[in-house]
Amino acid sequence: MTDDRKQYGHGSEAAAARHLAREGYKILERNHRNRLGEIDIIARHKGVWVFVEVKARRGKGFGDPKWAVTPAKQRKLSMVALAYLKHIRALEQKARFDVVTVVNDGDMPRFEVIANAFELAYP
């Protein structure tokens, strides 16, 4: 990944975190990594653990960014989230997966928050 794309991705994740905070999410971690992978944002919202995947585009030339969260990506996120909840001993608590899309094809980025975007996808 080029430095420009990496920088754009990190900037988009930061903007998405600020947007979620304005929407009432309490941001707990960004770019959480474990041996299974990475989750962009871990938050709490209305008493629920929320694992957030951020997808950003500079336009819609490659399609809506939400479609980039494929079933394979959902499985990977599910495994990372389960390992996180197990580590903090919170497996019995409510959790969900949200997707935040960021499209920046003008002056201001447009955000779409897809709450409960997919179910736990662990085999």
What is the 3-class SS of the chain, one letter each residue?
CCHHHHHHHHHHHHHHHHHHHHCCCEEEEEEEEECCEEEEEEEEECCEEEEEEEEEECCCCCCCHHHHCCHHHHHHHHHHHHHHHHHCCCCCCCEEEEEEEEECCCCCCEEEEEEEEECCCCC
Confidence band of 58 (pLDDT split at 50, 70, 90): confident
The answer to the question of residue 97 being in a domain is yes
The answer to the question of residue 66 being in a domain is yes
The answer to the question of residue 73 being in a domain is yes
Q: Which domain holds residue 9?
A: 3-118
pLDDT digits (tens, 9 = 90+) for 21-46: 999 999 999 999 999 999 999 999 99
**pTM for the predicted model, two decimal places:** 0.91
CA distance 61 to 59: 6
pLDDT > 70: percent of the chain = 93
Mean pLDDT rounded to a whole number for the chain: 90
In this structure, what token pair is assigned to residue 29?
């971690």
In this structure, what token pair is assigned to residue 90?
């919170």
The answer to the question of residue 58 being in a domain is yes
The answer to the question of residue 114 being in a domain is yes
pLDDT digits (tens, 9 = 90+) for 74-94: 999 999 999 999 999 999 999
How many domains is the chain partitioned into structurally?
1
The answer to the question of residue 123 being in a domain is no
pLDDT value at residue 121: 74
Confidence band of 1 (pLDDT split at 50, 70, 90): low
Q: Domain containing 50 — which CATH number?
A: 3.40.1350.10
Of 1-10, 72-81, 98-107, which gets the smallest average pLDDT?
Answer: 1-10
